[in-house]
Structure 1
Amino acid sequence: MLRNLLWGASLASISIALSGCQPAERVEVLTGPTMGSTYTIKYVSNSGTPAADAAGVAVQAILDEVDRQMSTYRLDSDLSKFNQLPAGSCAVMPRPVLELISYTNELSELSDGQFDITIEPLLNAWGFGPNSRGKRIPTEEEINEAKHGMGYQYLSIKGNELCKERDLKLDLNSIAAGYTVDRIGKRFEELGISSYLIEVTGEIIAKGKKHDGSPWRIAIEQPVDNGERVVQRILELDGWGVNTSGDYRNYFEEDGIRFSHTLNPKTGVPVAHNLAAVTVIDRSALVADALGTVLLVLGLDEGMEFSKQHDVAALFVVREGDTFVTYTSPKFTERFPEGE
C-alpha cells in the first residue's frame, strides 16, 4: 500500500474536536493515533446520535480489537502467536481473522498469486519488512530462501482453526486499515450515525451528506516525487470506500535504479513498470484496499485488463517521461465521469 503499516503505537488517547457552536446538527471530529499513523473521523451529530465522547469510545474499542487480533508488532496478538508456531501447526483464531484470511486466499487465487499475505520474508530481504536490516538488493539465494518461506496455498482453515503446512509469517497490513474503516462504518450505522467520513491511515469511506447538505469530498493527489501535494481529482463520495496505492514514497535507489517497496510475490523482486499510483473505489474499503495492492503489482496493462474483467473502478497514474498520465477503467469512468 502507500505505506507499510506500523503496529504497536499507543491507541489509548483520543482527541475530540467539536465543530461550531453546537447547532441542532453539527460535524463532530474524532482524531487519534493508530497503526503507526493516525485516524480522522467526521460525522454529523444530532439529537439522535451519540455524543462525541461515546462515539470515540466505540471507535477505540474497534481499534483495540484489531490491534489485539492482527498486530504483527506486538508478540501477544493472535496473529503474532500464530506466526511463532512451527510448520504443521494449527491454532484457534478469532472469527474476523479467519474471515480476512479466507478473503485474501480467494483474492490470491483470483490474481494468480499477485497478492499474498505471506510475503513478509521477501519484504525483509529487500529491507521493507518489520525485521529487515536496511534497504538493499538481496542475492538470488536470499530471494529464493525468502520465497521458500512464503505461499498462501500452504494456509488452510479448518472450522475455527487456522493451519499452516510451512513456517509462514502472515501479515494483514495490506488490508487491516480498510477492514477497520468498514468496521467503524458498520458500528456507526448501529449507533444511528448515518452521515460520516472515516479515514484510517489513508483508507477512506464516506456516506451521507454533511450537516449543510453538501457532499463529503476527497482529493486524489498526483504522485509527485518531491513531496509536493498536487490535487489531481476531487471526488464526491456517498457510500464509497477509497484506496490509493503507490510506489513514489517508499523506495530506494542503487546505481541509478529505483527499487519500489511494491514486490511481486511470484518473481520475488520489486515491480519495474511505470505505474506510479492507482486509486480504487468500492463499496467496501477493505476490497478497495486489497485491490489497490493487486493492481499496483500488475501494472497498467494487466491491471486495466483485471479491472475490466472484474468490474473494478480504478484510476491509474502512469509515469511517462517527466510527466504523469492518467487512465481510468470503464467502471471508474461510469461512476465518476470527468467534470462531475
Structure 2
Amino acid sequence: MNPNARKNIIYSLVLFAMLLLVYAWRTREGKPVIDTSAKSVTGKVSFSGKTMGTAFQVSYLDPSNRDFQPSIDSLLNVFNLSVSGYEPTSEVNRLNLKDTLISPSKTLVSVLKESNKMYDLTAAALDPTRSPLEKIWSFSPSGVKLQDSTDVRIFLSLVGLKKVIITDSLIRKSPPGILLDFSGSAKGFALDLIGEFLEAKGIKNFLIQIGGENLARGVNEKGELWKIGLFHLVDSTQTKSEGIVALQDQAISTAGSLEQFYTRDSIRLSFTLDPRTGYPATNGLLSATVIGRDAKTADALADALMVMGWREAIRMDSIRDDLQMLLIYNEKGGGLKQYISPELVRFLSFPVN
C-alpha cells in the first residue's frame, strides 16, 4: 500500500475517534454523573429543599423507593405557617402584631408548651421572647456595643416567656410589645416532626438535616451508623480540626463558633446575650455541641448552654445519661480547653486525651 494512503487512513481513524469523544462529552454536559453503586441496590432515597431560611436534606432507606418529598414539603409548610418568623403570615408573626391569638394551631401550642419546659429546665437561659434585647446590642470581633442612651431595663421588661399566657384556645402576651421568636429551637421541632412521619411510614433508617441540625435513626446504606462532621480541638496545639461523630439513634446540634468572638480581659467571649440579665454572656464558652435522643432537646440545649456556660454544662452532663456534649471554652489567663462526655468518645473519629 502506498505510504501516503496508509497515513491518510490512520489520520482518518484518529479524526473519527476524536469526533466520537467530542460528541460523547457534549451530550454529557448538563447531566448528573449517575452513581449505580448503592442507590438502586439498597433503595436509598435522598432529596433536598429550602425551609426556615436554610437548606434541608432527607436521606432514608426504603426497598420500595417511595418518594415522600411532597408529603414532607407539605408538613414543613404547615409547620412554618405556625411558628416560622420567615413566613409573613405565620401565626407567630400575627401574634407578634396583635398580642392575642384566638384558636391557635396545635403546632403553635405544642411548641410554646415545650418551650416553657425548656425555659424552666434552663432557668430561663432559653427564652423565645429575647428579641427586644437583640435589637439594642451589636457584636463584632472588636467588641460588643450597646445602642447610645439605651436603658437595658426597659427592654428587659419585654422579655420573659412566663408573660405569655397559653391555653388550647387562646394565646395572649402581657404586657403588649413582647415578641416571640423560635429561631433557636424551630429546626429541632421540624426535625422531630419529619422523623415521626418517616417512622409512621415504616422507615427505620434515615438522616435528616436542617441547616446545621441533624437527626439520625438506624444505619446508612453501608450498614454503618450515620456520620456527621464536627469541629474539635487538637489537644497538643489547641487548634481547630474537623472530625466525625457517629450517631446511634440520636440528634446533634451545635451553637456558637470558634471564629465568632471578641476578647475582654484576656478571655474570648462569644456573641451571646443572656436574656435573664439583658447583657452579653461572659462565661467563656465558645462552642457547645449537644447530642441527645430527640432534636428539639439537642437544638434547644445547645443554645441555652451558650448562655449558661461551660461549668453548668458539665454539671448537667454529669447528672443526665441521655445527653452527650462537646464543649470548647476558655478561662482568664488560659488557652482554649475542650470537654467531651466520656460516653461520646467511642463514637468519635479522633483520639481524646
TM-score band by shorter chain is 0.7 to 0.9
Which of 2, 26, 36 is residue 20 of structure 1 equivalent to? 36
Q: Which amino acid aligns with 1:65?
A: V
Matches within 5 A, 1:49-88: 49-50=65-66, 54-86=67-99
Matches within 5 A, 1:277-316: 277-311=287-321, 312-316=323-327
Please say which structure displays the higher CA radius of gyration. 2
Taking a change above 3 Å as real, the CA distance of residues 140 and 274 of structure 1, as seen in their structure-2 partners, is farther
Instruction: Please give the alpha-carbon distance, in whole angstroms, between the structure 2 residues aligned to 1:239 and 1:84.
Output: 40
Q: Report whether the alignment pairs 1:326 with 2:338.
A: yes
- Whether the aligned pair in 2 keeps the contact of 1:30 and 1:56 (CA below 8 Å) is yes
> 1:260, CA displacement in angstroms?
3.7
Q: Which amino acid aligns with 2:102?
A: A
Q: Report whether the alignment pairs 1:158 with 2:158.
A: no
- Whether the aligned pair in 2 keeps the contact of 1:216 and 1:236 (CA below 8 Å) is yes
Matches within 5 A, 1:186-265: 186-222=196-232, 230-232=241-243, 234-250=244-260, 260-265=270-275
Instruction: Please give the alpha-carbon distance, in whole angstroms, between the structure 1 residues aligned to 2:264 and 2:187.
Output: 31
2:303 aligns to what SS in structure 1?
Answer: helix
Matches within 5 A, 1:93-112: 93-112=104-123
Q: TM-score, normalised by structure 2?
A: 0.77
Taking a change above 3 Å as real, the CA distance of residues 33 and 205 of structure 1, as seen in their structure-2 partners, is same
- Whether the aligned pair in 1 keeps the contact of 2:205 and 2:220 (CA below 8 Å) is yes
Aligned-residue sequence identity (percent) comes to 25
Residue aligning to 2:195: 185
Taking a change above 3 Å as real, the CA distance of residues 124 and 251 of structure 1, as seen in their structure-2 partners, is farther
Instruction: Please give the alpha-carbon distance, in whole angstroms, between the structure 1 residues aligned to 2:315 and 2:185.
Output: 22
5+ unaligned residues in a row in structure 2: which ranges? 1-31
- Whether the aligned pair in 2 keeps the contact of 1:19 and 1:29 (CA below 8 Å) is no
Instruction: Please give the alpha-carbon distance, in whole angstroms, between the structure 2 residues aligned to 1:200 and 1:17.
Output: 25
Instruction: Please give the alpha-carbon distance, in whole angstroms, between the structure 1 residues aligned to 2:167 and 2:161.
Output: 15
Q: Which amino acid aligns with 1:58?
A: S
Which of 146, 150, 166 is residue 141 of structure 1 equivalent to? 150
- Whether the aligned pair in 1 keeps the contact of 2:250 and 2:294 (CA below 8 Å) is yes
Taking a change above 3 Å as real, the CA distance of residues 200 and 257 of structure 1, as seen in their structure-2 partners, is same
5+ unaligned residues in a row in structure 1: which ranges? 1-15, 129-134
Write out the 4+ residue segments of structure 1 that deviate beyond 3 Å after TM superposition: 16-19, 139-142, 247-261, 309-312, 319-324, 329-340
The one-character-per-residue Cα deviations of 1:42-89 (angstroms, maximum 9, x if unpaired) are: 212312x51xxx311122112211221112233311100001114xx3
Instruction: Please give the alpha-carbon distance, in whole angstroms, between the structure 1 residues aligned to 2:33 and 2:80.
Output: 24
Q: Which amino acid aligns with 1:155?
A: V
Residue aligning to 1:269: 279
The one-character-per-residue Cα deviations of 1:264-323 (angstroms, maximum 9, x if unpaired) are: 011112212221111111110011001111111111112212333444322211236785
Which of 78, 102, 112 is residue 91 of structure 1 equivalent to? 102
- Whether the aligned pair in 2 keeps the contact of 1:39 and 1:201 (CA below 8 Å) is yes
Residue aligning to 1:113: 124
Residue aligning to 1:317: 328
> 1:159, CA displacement in angstroms?
2.7
Residue aligning to 1:11: none
1:276 aligns to what SS in structure 2?
Answer: strand
> 1:144, CA displacement in angstroms?
1.8
Residue aligning to 2:58: 41
Q: Which amino acid aligns with 2:339?
A: Y
Q: How many corresponding residue pairs?
A: 309
> 1:211, CA displacement in angstroms?
2.2
Taking a change above 3 Å as real, the CA distance of residues 57 and 309 of structure 1, as seen in their structure-2 partners, is same
